[in-house]
Amino acid sequence: MQKIAPVWKWLLLVLLALGAIVLAFHFDDAVRRWVVEHSNPTARRVMRNVSRYGDWPEHVLAGLLLIGIAALRGSKQWMRVGLTMILACALAGIVARGIKISTGRARPSVKHELGWNGPR
């Protein structure tokens, strides 16, 4: 039987998460200003590629590739790892989309309406 973590550990985790959220909102404008002031073509190109190749299709493709290799080798453990990777990617995408919709934060590239716009 698995041992359940004490309530104080869960409470500490929730408090740390809330603290991180508060700090993120507190430093939002300063970080945005720093990014705008230090922007250059190379950094924009690198971040565009990070956004492009770090998105869900590449992760799902890597998971499917892992599942295929594991199936050929007969490894059920690695097939589960690949399936878990795809499931985690899907859940992260759903949560990220929900956060984007609920916070209404404009993208850094948006020139008008900078700042928090609230839920839409």
Angstrom distance (rounded) from CA 72 to CA 69: 5
Contact 108, 79 (CB under 8 A): no
Say how many domains are in the chain.
2
Per-residue pLDDT tens digits for 2-43 = 677 788 888 999 999 999 989 988 898 898 888 888 889 998
- For residues 60 and 100, membership in a common domain is answered with yes
Q: DSSP letters of 23-63?
A: HHHHTHHHHHHHHHHT--HHHHHHHHHHHHHTSHHHHHHHH
| Domain that includes residue 92, residue range | 55-104
- For residues 33 and 59, membership in a common domain is answered with no
Q: What is the pLDDT at residue 95?
A: 87
Per-residue pLDDT tens digits for 57-86 = 788 888 899 999 999 999 999 999 989 988
**Taking residues 100-115, what's their average pLDDT?**
64
Q: Is residue 111 part of a domain?
A: no
The pTM is what?
A: 0.50
